Amino acid sequence: MTAMNDIQLSDYVTFTTAGQMFGLPIECVQDVFKPTSITRVPLAGPEIAGVLNLRGRIVTAIELRSRLGLAARDAGQVAMAIGIESRGESFGLLVDTVGEVLKLPDEEREPNPINLDRNLGRVAAGVYRLDGNLLVVLDIDRVLDLSPEAAAA
């Protein structure tokens, strides 16, 4: 018990996209929902999947696959959305599947490997080595920063 107290633990909401496991600190995550009837927004960047109505709030859906420069989801594969509140606005990060919440010790978080994919490296805030899986921790501010210089690659 005392040993546990010495270790700083953080909760991560985990999810997978294109086979890769990701985690977001639980403080960032508002809720998890199944996005329905997303309205496309013409002329918006490829990362913007569209806008949708979540209980009267307008949520901007951001496709993590596009954000990371990955191929689009297979037709028929339903996305899940991680609800995020940032600077007074609501966003939904579209991912493939949502996993469980993990409690992980801060000290085990390792910096990004230098050979990490550039698109991924821009938004990753470290990596956890789990049993048989690598969990990439996302920096939500950087994920949501779609400014041209951040997006250019």
Partner 1 sequence: MDDLLREFLTETNESLNLVDAQLVRFEQEPNNGAILGNIFRLVHTIKGTCGFLALPRLETLTHAAETLMGKFRDGMPVTAEAVTLILSTIDRIKSILDAIEKSEQEPAGGDGDLIDLLGRMARKEAAAPPQVAPPPPPAPAPIELKTPDAPEKADKQDKLAAERPEEDRGDRLANHSIRVNVDTLDHLMTTVSELVLTRNQLLEIVRRHEESDFKVPLQRLSNVTAELQEGVMKTRMQPIGNAWQKLPRVVRDLCAELGKDIELTMRGADTELDRQVLDLVKDPLTHLVRNCADHGIESPAERIAAGKPAKGTIRLSAWHEGGHIIIEISDNGRGLDLAGIKAKVVEKGFASEAQLAAKSEAEICNYIFAAGFTTAAKVTSISGRGVGMDVVRSNIEQIGGTVDLKSVSGAGTTFTIKIPLTLAIVSALIVEAGGERFAIPQLAVLELVRAGHNGEHRIEHIKDAPVLRLRNKLLPLVRLKEVFRLGACDDENGFVVVTQVGSQVFGVVVDGVFHTEEIVIKPMSSKLRHIPVFSGTTILGDGSVIMIIDPNGVSQALGRAAAAAARAENSELQSREEESDEDTVSLLVFRAGSQQPKAVPLSLVTRLEEIDCRKIEISDGRHLVQYRDQLMPLLRIDAESSLKKEGAQPILVFSDQGRSMGLVADEIIDIVEERLNIEVSSDRPGVLGYAVIKGATTEIIDVGHFLPQAFADWFRRRDPSAVRQTRSVLLVDDSAFFRELLAPLIKAAGYRVVAAASAADALAALKSDARFDLIVTDIEMPDMDGFALAEAVRAMPAAAAVPIIALATMVSAETVERGRAAGFHDFVAKFDRAGLVAAIKEQGADLNRAA
**Interface ranges with partner 1 (CB under 8 A):** 37, 39-45, 48, 51-53, 55-56, 58, 60, 62, 87, 89, 91, 144, 146
Q: Are 94 and 35 in contact (CB under 8 A)?
A: yes
Q: Are 73 and 65 in contact (CB under 8 A)?
A: yes
> Please, what is the minimum distance in Å from the beta carbon of residue 110 to partner 1?
31
Cα 33 to Cα 11: distance, rounded to the nearest angstrom: 19
Sequence-distant (≥ 6) Cβ neighbours of residue 46 within 8 angstroms: 63, 66
Q: Which is nearer to partner 1, 16 or 86 (CB)?
A: 86
Q: Which is nearer to partner 1, 27 or 89 (CB)?
A: 89
Sequence-distant (≥ 6) Cβ neighbours of residue 137 within 8 angstroms: 12, 22, 23, 24, 25, 109, 124, 125, 126, 127, 128
> Please, what is the minimum distance in Å from the beta carbon of residue 153 to partner 1?
17
> Please, what is the minimum distance in Å from the beta carbon of residue 143 to partner 1?
11
> Please, what is the minimum distance in Å from the beta carbon of residue 89 to partner 1?
6
Residue type, 20: Q
Give the residue from 61, 63, 57 showing the smallest Cα distance to 88: 57
Q: Which is nearer to partner 1, 125 or 144 (CB)?
A: 144
Q: Which is nearer to partner 1, 40 or 129 (CB)?
A: 40
